[in-house]
Amino acid sequence: MSALSQAEIQKFKKQLRDRGTDLREAIHASLLNSDNKTYSEVAGRVLDIGEQSVVDLLADFHIIELEKEAAEFADVEAALARIAAGTFGQCAGCKADIAIERLRIYPTAKRCTECQTRHERMAKDMTPSL
Ligand SMILES: [Zn+2]
């Protein structure tokens, strides 16, 4: 059970939805302004298709220039899915409640600060050194 009130969750939901819309429009504009003909064609589809598929669409066309935007879009979608599932604000690592101050700054946070730090340290250790 999340410690967040319904009103707080609704606020995060709106914030995330708005961010998703902004990102979608930013992705659309970047594609449209590209000299690449394929990108311009893909741009037309970005605004009509379902939420999750924007990320798939960019991946399908190997549009790596927008990888950062696509990754953030995927994070926003995942956070909205957690709201729908009732697990928003719960740490994916220790299952404790993520501090609301952290969520206000970073509403797509999957982990509490401690677990995130541990996770990043682990990911770094696992990077193969060639
Ligand atoms: Zn945690």
- Give the Å distance between the CA of 77 and the centre of ligand 1: 21
How far away, in angstroms, is 54 Cα from ligand 1 center? 30
The rounded Cα 28 to chain-centroid distance in angstroms is: 17
User: How confident is the model over 68-115, as pLDDT tens digits?
Assistant: 999 999 999 999 999 999 999 999 999 999 999 999 999 999 999 999
41 or 15, which is more confident: 15
- Give the angle subtended at the CA of 62 by the CAs of 60 and 64, to the nearest 5°: 135
Average pLDDT of the chain, as a whole number? 90
The answer to whether residue 76 is domain-embedded is: yes
CATH number of the domain within which 118 lies: 1.20.120.910
In this prediction the pTM is: 0.83
Q: Is the pLDDT of residue 59 over 90?
A: no
Span 15-20, average pLDDT? 95
**C-alpha of 94 from chain center:** 21
Whole-number Å distance, alpha carbon 51 to ligand 1 midpoint, is 28
Residue 118 lies in a domain: yes
Fill in the amino acid letter for 43: A
CA neighbours closer than 13 Å in the CB half-sphere of residue 24: 20
Separation of CA 103 and ligand 1 centre (Å): 13
Inside any domain, residue 1: no
The yes-or-no verdict on residue 28 having pLDDT over 70 is yes
